Chain A
């Protein structure tokens, strides 16, 4: 008996910290997904700011529409909605929705932030996404950051800041970083005029090829129904 107790104790000794340490990666992803599943659809208002080296655009007033499982649309209320390609597919909702078709790998914790790092490897070899890395706040069950590597469009990063809508897993602010390709229009198509000032070395310009899109949401209207037509 004593021995049995000792064995159990030993098992417990090993097990409890594991249990305390938290759920497995799969469980965590599942929990996050459950939280997110509360949202069937939403319509959010916000401001979109773009920071791409070769683009100067005004801050846009946008409406973002979402509908389960993976429909999403950013609509510019005030002007031309120049939306980075693939950004829709790289949304958290999308990543979470696809998690079931991925191998989930636990990569421990990021030391500085204490966020849980989980890597998702799509099982489908043909998928555009090669790897998604999620940085999850385990207490609040919120994804704070994702990094997604794609075959076609390089690496994307999402960084979320949460506030009022945290209970639905919806961020107040999303920063989307992506790789941009060179932009150069052939002469004749452009509307250029040489004002005689010396331009900086074009090579310097092209080095910095990260683009950033920042959406600050002011309000969400959740589960009020969104017509399919807006996604067209």
Chain B
């Protein structure tokens, strides 16, 4: 099993395509960091416009590494699924397209095992991608912008979290984002099992995510109460929950999370989807006639 996994990882990381995602992420993060370094205080000013009538909020203190990371994650995590799909959506259909699938499947490895190994490899790729995001968005930002308390602007509330109380939240948030992206990987992987060309599953995944994200962000009560709770994209935003704190008389309670059950529920829903997608992929692929 480990040997097979090594082979799959080897195949992933010997492809130039794999590194597109890493390069794209580096480029986006770099651009955001440059923009915030030179024009960040205006950006913060805009974000704190609701506060400025009542408070003097020092933009230079708000603009710190933790905050920059938070902005980057907000801008980036919506788009990382596309990069995940680029690899996960190619795992099976890419082999079919290349003509190597028939060789793989005629090897003494069960199809279930082959798929589990391939999915694990896609999962590892996803995790590495997120570690890369974390390295650049969090640790590099901490180096460039320093650290301070984290200012979280919410729709009707501002949360300020003390510097010592942040790092674990990021670790938790990245772990949650991993679950979300693994779900995307599973979706993409499932579509990949259905198809015999690479483009189809990748495009299909991206389309699903775009449509679901639009539905998630649309504030239409009809959808809010009917389909929205079932869209996995809604739950993928759950990582933000780790930055919503509880307060007592306006004072942030250290190590608190406003609504942990909701985050856990979102996480479980995502996992359920991931498992569903993976099992569907295996169920289908086991019966599939390899004609490619």
Q: B246 — which chain A residues lie within 8 A by C-beta?
A: 56
Q: Is the CB of A55 within 8 A of B157?
A: yes
Closest-CB distance, A164 to chain B (whole angstroms) = 25
Main secondary structure of the interface of B (DSSP, over half): mixed
User: Cβ of A3 < 8 Å from any Cβ of B?
Assistant: no
B120 within 8 A of A: no
Which residue in chain B gives the minimum CB-CB distance to A205? B156
Residue interface mask B25-59, A partner, CB < 8 A = 1: 00000000000000000000011011111111110
Q: Does B110 contact A (CB under 8 A)?
A: no
- Give the residue name and chain of the A residue nearest to B56 (CB): A83
Once bound together, how far apart are the Cα atoms of A79 and B160, in whole Å? 9
Question: Is there an interface contact between B219 and A187, defined as CB atoms closer than 8 Å?
Answer: yes
Asked if B151 CB lies within 8 Å of chain A CBs, one says: yes
Contact of B54 among A49, A84, A194, A212 (CB under 8 A): A84
* Chain A, Cβ-Cβ closest to B63: A80
Residues on A with C-beta less than 8 A from B160 are 55-58, 79-80, 82
Known A-B contacts A56-B250, A184-B50, A187-B219; A80 and B158 likewise in contact (beta carbons under 8 Å): no
Instruction: Give which listed residue, A49, A190, A192, contacts B250 with CB less than 8 A.
Output: A49
Q: Which of B70, B152, B158, B238 contacts A183 (CB 8 A)?
A: B158
Q: How far is the CA of A180 from the CA of B52 in the complex (A)?
A: 11
Known interface pairs A185-B155, A197-B262; A78-B163 also in contact (CB < 8 Å): yes
Contact B251 A57 (CB under 8 A): yes
Complex interface residues of chain B between 159 and 216 (CB less than 8 A to chain A): 159-163, 165
CB–CB B252/A58 < 8 A: yes
Tell me whether A81 is interfacial, beta carbon within 8 Å.
Answer: yes
CA–CA, A153 and B57, complex, Å: 16
CA distance A202 to B208 in the complex (A): 33
* Contact of A56 with B57 in the complex, beta carbons under 8 Å: no
- Give the docked Cα–Cα distance between A183 and B62 (Å): 18
In whole angstroms, what is the CA distance A212 to B247 when docked? 14
Which chain A residues border B251 with CB–CB below 8 Å? 49-51, 56-59
| A202–B156 CB distance below 8 A | yes
Cβ distance A217 to chain B, nearest Cβ, rounded Å: 18
List chain A residues, Cβ under 8 A from B50: 183-185
Q: Which residues of chain B are near A191, meaning CB under 8 Å?
A: 70, 74, 152-154, 240, 243
Report the Cα distance A82→B252, complex, angstroms.
14
Task: Indicate if B83 sits at the interface (CB-CB under 8 A).
Answer: no
User: How far is the CB of A210 from the nearest CB of chain B, in Å?
Assistant: 11
Cα separation A192 to B238 with both chains bound (whole Å)? 10
Q: Is B99 an interface residue (CB 8 A)?
A: no
**Residue of A54, A187, A193 contacting most chain B CB atoms (<10 Å):** A193
**For B254, what are the chain A residues with a Cβ–Cβ distance below 8 Å?**
58
Within 8 A of B (CB), among A53-71: 53-59
- Residue contact A81 to B156, C-beta cutoff 8 Å: no
- Residue-wise, chain B 253-265 has the 8 Å CB interface mask toward A (1 for contact) of 0100001001101
Chain A positions near chain B (C-beta within 8 angstroms):
49-59, 76, 78-85, 153, 178, 180-181, 183-185, 187, 189-197, 202, 205, 211-212
**Complex A-B: 6 CB contacts under 8 Å:** A49-B249, A50-B251, A55-B250, A57-B251, A181-B53, A193-B238
**12 other A-B residue contacts (CB within 8 Å) besides A57-B252, A183-B157, A191-B153:** A53-B250, A57-B158, A78-B163, A80-B58, A80-B151, A80-B160, A184-B156, A185-B49, A193-B238, A195-B262, A195-B266, A196-B234
Q: Which residues of B contact A (CB under 8 A)?
A: 46-47, 49-58, 61-62, 70, 74, 148-149, 151-163, 165, 219, 224, 228-229, 234, 237-238, 240-241, 243, 245-247, 249-252, 254, 259, 262-263, 265-266
